[in-house]
């Protein structure tokens, strides 16, 4: 008899409305987003209050949950403004609000008691007793600290009533669960208030006091040394272990990443999770999934702290982007007539180019552009960035499918 596994939620970032649509199109069960203030990604675009209303309505129409981030560590002068934001949140009705600051948790429980609270990874939950504490005061879910091994995560998930959430793909902070002081110290931008300048990914060299104009790399690398530069997390090869750890939600990092990245990553993990749930006995990592993740912009991949590999360095000294990085062209906006598709152009496209279309299911489909038209249906030789164009191709597409040039 086939064994039935708990199917975890796939949680994807939505830095703006376009990214929300892409995440849902490619199979996210839930998305996390933020307003213009009080989250840790102030440069991701984010949503006005009216846009949050539209986002929640759109997501719910597509049976997708919305979690609203309010996960800064706040200051005294912000309390009234935060309380006002929480009251607006209660009127909008997201499925949960993501918080790290105990003071904001207190305000949320007082002002919006019917909205579930998810505890941010910023709160540094590293043990079972802490998870049970948060459950006992009414927290619905905890995003566990990045420092935990898979065995530690499984122990918490299996022995507490609180829902658990862990990151499975994306950038990793070199700090204690993202609470970093480097950005504040070096650039005056507080990473705990959504303004991180990512100094952990800058290039660093050694300068000797008496020779201020001579820069010496810490390693034998002409680009200098990336002494803090963390690798990117990738757990696509360990889907069975994640599901067997009883984790409630598998989270993708990247509210500041583009729609090409988002489409590739969400699609890949969606297909992998579904494949294991449907056919656990014959499941294998599909090589196409690895290829897809190598083609998007990334730093060297690793498995973070999941397997507690003390001998594996988590710092990235090479900053290498493995694999062929294709040229992202845009997304399908609509079908104007048979095999004619309107597309928003992000990079130059020419009649006769070979492209691939990425849809939610199956491998990308390759085809050639038979003809190219401007928005007035006049034939053109090429389409420039930041314009609209119409493609004539032989394959069928759908709105929000991603187009890439080979």
pLDDT of residue 406: 85
pLDDT of residue 304: 87
What residue spans of 188-258 are helical by DSSP H? Answer: 239-244
Cα separation, 249 vs 106, in Å, equals 24
- How is residue 317 written in tokens? 């000294």
Asked if 163 and 139 count as a contact pair (C-beta separation under 8 A), the reply is: no
Cα separation, 366 vs 117, in Å, equals 44
3-state helix, strand, coil in the chain (%, to 5): 30, 25, 45
pLDDT of residue 311: 44
pLDDT of residue 348: 93
What pLDDT, in 10s, does the model give residues 16-40?
999 999 999 999 999 999 998 776 5
Q: Any idea which residue has 């152009």 for tokens?
A: 345
User: With a cut of 50, which residues of the chain have pLDDT below it?
Assistant: 1, 176, 219-227, 311-313, 317, 322
Q: What string of DSSP letters covers 299-335?
A: --EE-TTTT--TTS--B-SS----S--PEEEEEEEEE
What are the backbone angles phi and psi of residue 5, rounded to the nearest 5°?
Answer: -105, 150
pLDDT of residue 114: 97
What strands lie across the sheet with 365-368, from one edge to the other? Answer: 365-368, 354-358, 402-405, 327-337, 340-345, 387-392, 371-373
Asked if 130 and 185 count as a contact pair (C-beta separation under 8 A), the reply is: no
Cα separation, 351 vs 353, in Å, equals 6
Task: Please report the domains of the chain, with CATH numbers, ordered by start residue.
Answer: 9-177+229-302 (3.20.20.70), 327-405 (2.40.30.10)
Other CB atoms within 10 A of residue 352 CB: 11
Per the DSSP assignment, residues forming a β-bridge with 331 are 344, 402
Cα separation, 52 vs 48, in Å, equals 6
Cα separation, 273 vs 149, in Å, equals 20
Asked if 30 and 95 count as a contact pair (C-beta separation under 8 A), the reply is: yes
Cα separation, 68 vs 16, in Å, equals 12
pTM surpassing 0.75?
Answer: yes
pLDDT of residue 299: 82
């Amino acid at each position: 008899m086939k064994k039935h596994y708990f199917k975890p939620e796939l949680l994807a970032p939505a830095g703006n409305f376009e990214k929300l649509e892409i995440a849902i199109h490619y199979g996210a069960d839930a998305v996390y987003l933020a307003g213009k203030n009080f989250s840790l990604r102030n440069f991701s675009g984010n949503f006005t209050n009216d846009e949050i209303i539209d986002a929640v309505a759109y997501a719910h129409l597509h049976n997708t949950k919305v979690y609203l981030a309010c996960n800064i560590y706040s200051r005294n002068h912000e309390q009234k403004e935060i309380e006002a934001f929480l009251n607006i949140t209660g009127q909008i009705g997201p499925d949960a609000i993501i918080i790290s600051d105990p003071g904001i948790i207190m305000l949320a429980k007082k002002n919006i008691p019917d909205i579930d609270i998810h505890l941010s990874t910023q709160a540094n939950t590293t043990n079972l007793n802490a998870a049970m504490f948060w459950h006992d005061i009414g927290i619905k879910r905890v995003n566990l600290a990045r420092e935990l091994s898979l065995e530690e995560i499984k122990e918490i998930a299996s022995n507490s009533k609180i829902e658990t959430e862990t990151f499975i793909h994306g950038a990793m902070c070199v700090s204690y669960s993202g609470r970093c002081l480097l950005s504040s110290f070096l650039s005056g931008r507080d990473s705990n208030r959504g303004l991180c300048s990512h100094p952990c990914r800058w290039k660093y060299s050694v300068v000797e006091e008496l020779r201020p104009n001579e820069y010496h790399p810490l390693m034998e690398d002409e680009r200098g040394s990336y002494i803090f530069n963390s690798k990117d997390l990738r757990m696509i090869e360990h889907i069975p272990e994640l599901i067997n750890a009883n984790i409630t939600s598998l989270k993708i990092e990247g509210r500041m990443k583009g729609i090409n990245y988002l489409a590739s990553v969400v699609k890949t993990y969606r297909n992998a999770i579904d494949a294991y749930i449907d056919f656990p006995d014959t499941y294998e990592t599909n090589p196409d999934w690895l290829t897809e993740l190598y083609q998007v912009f990334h730093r060297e991949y690793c498995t973070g702290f999941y397997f507690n590999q003390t001998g594996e360095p988590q710092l990235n000294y090479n900053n290498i982007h493995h694999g062929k990085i294709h040229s992202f062209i845009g997304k399908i906006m609509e079908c104007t007539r048979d095999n004619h598709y309107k597309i928003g152009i992000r990079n130059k496209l020419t009649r006769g180019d070979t492209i691939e279309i990425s849809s939610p299911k199956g491998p990308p489909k390759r085809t050639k552009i038979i003809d190219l038209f401007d928005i007035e249906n006049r034939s053109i030789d090429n389409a420039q960035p930041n314009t609209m164009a119409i493609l004539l191709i032989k394959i069928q597409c759908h709105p929000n499918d991603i187009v890439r040039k080979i």
